[in-house]
Amino acid sequence: MGKSPPSPPADIETAHGGRKGRHSPSYDDVVDETVHGGRKGRPSPPSDIETAHGGRPAGHRKSRSEPPQPTPRFSPPAPKPWFPWLVPLVFVANVALFGYSMYYNDCPEHIDTDRECILSDVLGRFSFQPFKENPLLGPSTRTLQHLGALQKELVVENNEGWRLITCMFLHAGVIHIVANMFSLLSIGIRLEQEFGFVRIGLVYMLAGFAGSLISILHLEATAKPTISVGASGALFGLLGAMLSELLTNWTIYENKCAALLTLVVISALNLSLGFLPRVDNSAHVGGFISGFLLGFVLLMRPQYGYVNRKHIPPGYDVKRKSKFTIYQYILFVLSLIILLVGYMLVQALSRRNIYRQILDT
C-alpha cells in the first residue's frame, strides 16, 4: 500500500489558482499587495497608515492628537445708510424764512429819506438794511423781533417761550445764513445717514433749545437789550454730538486719534469765532455742551465684535459679546443725569431773575 501524498504547504496554490487551505498572511504581505492593487485578505491596518492615494482607510478614526476645528466667526451685515431728508428740509425751511424776512422787512418802504438801502435798485423790497445798521446784509432788528427773535424782555416778562424755538430758524443776514447752512449740510447729512432722522432731529432741536436757554441768561446779564437769532446753537450741538459719538463708539473706529484730533481742532476754531463782535457765543457754548452730552445718550452703537443672535445660523453655539461696553453705560447714565440737573438749574435761575425783576418794579 502506498502512502497518500503529503498535503501541500499552505503557500502553494493549486492548478486552478485556488487555495487548499487558509493561512494568515503577514502584515508586510498585506501592505505589499495593497500597494500593487490586490489583497489576499483585509486585515485592519494601524490607524496611522495611509493608503497609496494619500487618504486614510475606511473606518479610520481621527487621532486625539489632532487640533479641534476653529469656532466659526460671524459678523453682522453692514448697516444700510439712512436716506437723509430731515437735514435738507431744515435747510429749505431756513432759506425760505430768510427770504420771507427780507420780503417782510421791505427796507425802501420803512427807511428814512436820509439813509439808503443796499442794492435797492436791484432787489427792490428785498434790499438790505444799511451796512451800519446790519453789517451781515440782512433785515432790521424790528423785523427779526416781529418774526420771533430771542429777546429777554419778551420771553421773561411776556411769557413768549416759543421764541426759544423760533429764533433757531431766523438769521441776521446773508453772511450769517450762508455760514450756518454750509455747516448744517456738511455735518448734518453725514450724521443723519448714520443714525437716522429721529435721533439727529432730537439732537438738533434739544441742543438748539439748550443754547437758547443759556443765551437768555447771558442776555439778562447785559445792560442793553439785544436779540439773538440763528441756528448756531443747534449746529454746535451736532458738532458736540460728533465728538461724543467718537468717544462712546471708540472700539469701532480705526484711525481714532486722528479723528479725535480733527474734531477737537474744528470745535475749538468754531468756538473761537464766538468772541467776534455781534456774535452770541453763549448759545454756541450751551449748544455744544448739550449736544456733547446728548451724543452719549442718543448716539450709542454696539461695540466692535457684537453679533445679534438672528445673524448666527441655527445649530451654532457661539459665545457672543455684550451689545454695549461698561463705559458706554456709565457715560449714558452720567450724561442723562447732568442734562436733567442742568435743565432744572437753568429753570431755577430763570425764575429767580423773574422774581428779581418783579421786586424791582
Which residues are catalytically annotated? 232, 284
Residues forming a β-bridge with 128: 118
Other beta carbons less than 10 A from residue 112's beta carbon? 7
* C-alpha distance across the termini of the chain, in Å: 158
Distance CA 316, CA 294 (A): 38
Q: What are the C-alpha distances in Å from 6 to residues 9, 10, 13, 20, 145?
A: 9, 12, 14, 13, 133
